[in-house]
Amino acid sequence: MFDALVQFVREQYRTLEFIPLHAPVFQGHESGYVQETISSTFVSSVGPFVDRFERDTAAYTGAVRAVATVNGTAALHAALLLAGTERGDLVITQALTFVATCNAIAYCGAEPVFVDVDRYTLGLSPVALQAWLESNARLDDDGTCRDKSSDRRIAACVPMHTFGHPVDLDGLLAVCGRWNLPMVEDAAESLGSLYRGKHTGVFGLLGTLSFNGNKIITTGGGGMILANEELGIRAKHLTTTAKRPHPFEYVHDELGFNYRLPNLNAALGCAQLEQLELFIASKRELATRYADHFADSDFEFFREPEHCRSNYWLNAVICPDRTQRDGLLNASNQAGVMTRPIWQLMCDLPIYAHCRHDGLAQSRWLSERIVNLPSSVLPEHLS
Ligand SMILES: *Cc1c(COP(=O)(O)O)cnc(C)c1O
């Protein structure tokens, strides 16, 4: 079984060398654009590529405004502040996520509450969310959502589109609407993923992207805030040291952050964005082949949810049990084919062990079984 998988992956990548989980591809205008920033000396926080990367990302995602940041965690931190998160608040999210989601909440002085995920999306479950809120929350006369036991405000809800697969956005928006909770989408993994034809990250009040080296496109390090007109303007201000526009004076009218993306990185981003649809087509083709490979086995290759186009950023297989999962991880990694288990649940990390949760039955079941498989663009799609 595992030998067959190793052989299958090697056939796809046509190599006997080490096969990583996800390798970036630079085959377009990357060198040219980066060289332009050097020639022009505009490598740092201002420059034409930053504006262009923001415009191009807004156009691609359909967001009214896109604001580039130094990484995805910074984008999420700023987005949560813009959504009104304050010290002492609670913020509902998944335990099945990368640690950055929770860290951004903690940077606001708020605390995550972990609600279970759905088996068919791997993301926050609207049913679990509604159930947790019904037992634990109340709405004040002014519409503020509060935790009944501690009286703490519940400031926001942060679903994450796991491995690029969209969460049940209609379901979550309905529950969030009922409880007056602004939704901030952690779309770090889902650039190019569509829910009912619309890009993930533009359904919530705000959404955030990441362009880290392992994501579907990369700027080295980078992120983006997706927002409406008003919050987009606020996002730009907050992430650029809150400096008021002035020809020469330094006037900063609130506590801002230096979360700007350098022009050097934005240049790389502009070139990568031009390649994105090609990358997605290749990864979707690979996903189909994995699905065929695992058909008729007790390993379930994870397919995109209904009404969605997933970018299949990281392919994932659900193993029948933990023993089989460990068998797959050991056999493939020893054979030079990189595979990885999904993250530990956030509530199992010491820093978030005190946080409240709803039992997380589905999250725990999945966390013991999911393995990510090599997901780089296929060699036949490289030019
Ligand atoms: C990558 C990622 C982020 C942001 O990461 P950065 O490395 O800061 O760009 C946030 N959330 C999730 C779920 C991610 O996968």
226-252 confidence digits (pLDDT tens): 999 999 999 999 999 999 999 999 999
Atom in ligand 1 nearest the alpha carbon of residue 211 = 9
Distance 272 CA to ligand 1 centre (A): 18
Average pLDDT estimate for 182-192 = 98
Location of structure tokens 């935790």: 147
| % of the chain exceeding 90 in pLDDT | 99
| Beta carbon of 374 within 6 Å of any ligand 1 atom | no
| Beta carbon of 189 within 6 Å of any ligand 1 atom | yes
| Beta carbon of 212 within 6 Å of any ligand 1 atom | yes
In the structure encoding, which two tokens stand for residue 183, read together?
Answer: 């939704």
Each residue of 313-353: pLDDT tens digit?
999 999 999 999 999 999 999 999 999 999 999 999 999 99
Which residue puts its alpha carbon closest to atom 13 of ligand 1? 98
Which of 223, 143, 131, 125 has the alpha carbon at shortest distance from 182? 143
Average pLDDT estimate for 256-266 = 98
Average pLDDT estimate for 175-182 = 98
| Beta carbon of 36 within 6 Å of any ligand 1 atom | no
| Numbered ranges of CATH 3.90.1150.10 in the chain | 2-18+275-381
Strands (E), 10-131: 65-69, 90-94, 111-115
| Beta carbon of 185 within 6 Å of any ligand 1 atom | no
With respect to CATH, is domain 30-273 assigned 3.40.640.10? Answer: yes
pLDDT of residue 93: 99
| Beta carbon of 168 within 6 Å of any ligand 1 atom | no
Q: Answer yes or no: is pLDDT of 306 > 90.
A: yes
Cα gap 114→157, rounded to integer Å: 10
| Numbered ranges of CATH 3.40.640.10 in the chain | 30-273
Q: Answer yes or no: is pLDDT of 198 > 90.
A: yes
Atom in ligand 1 nearest the alpha carbon of residue 186 = 11
| Beta carbon of 101 within 6 Å of any ligand 1 atom | yes
3-state class (DSSP) for residue 129: helix
Distance 248 CA to ligand 1 centre (A): 36
Average pLDDT estimate for 57-75 = 98
CB atoms within 10 A of CB 343: 17
pLDDT of residue 383: 87
Burial (Cβ within 10 Å: 0-12, 13-18, ≥19) of residue 373: buried
Each residue of 144-160: pLDDT tens digit?
999 999 999 999 999 99
Atom in ligand 1 nearest the alpha carbon of residue 222 = 9
- DSSP structure string for 278-344: HHHHHHHHHHHHHHHHHTTSSSEEPPPPTTEE---SSEEEE-SSHHHHHHHHHHHHHTTB--EEPPP
pLDDT of residue 1: 83
Distance 210 CA to ligand 1 centre (A): 6
Which residue puts its alpha carbon closest to atom 5 of ligand 1? 72
| % of the chain exceeding 70 in pLDDT | 100
Which of 58, 97, 1, 54 has the alpha carbon at shortest distance from 324? 1
With respect to CATH, is domain 2-18+275-381 assigned 3.90.1150.10? Answer: yes
Distance 215 CA to ligand 1 centre (A): 9
Q: Which residues contact 122 (CB under 8 A, 6 or more apart)?
A: 96, 162, 163, 165, 302, 316, 366, 370
Torsional class of 122: left (φ above 0), alpha (ψ -120 to 50), beta (otherwise):
left
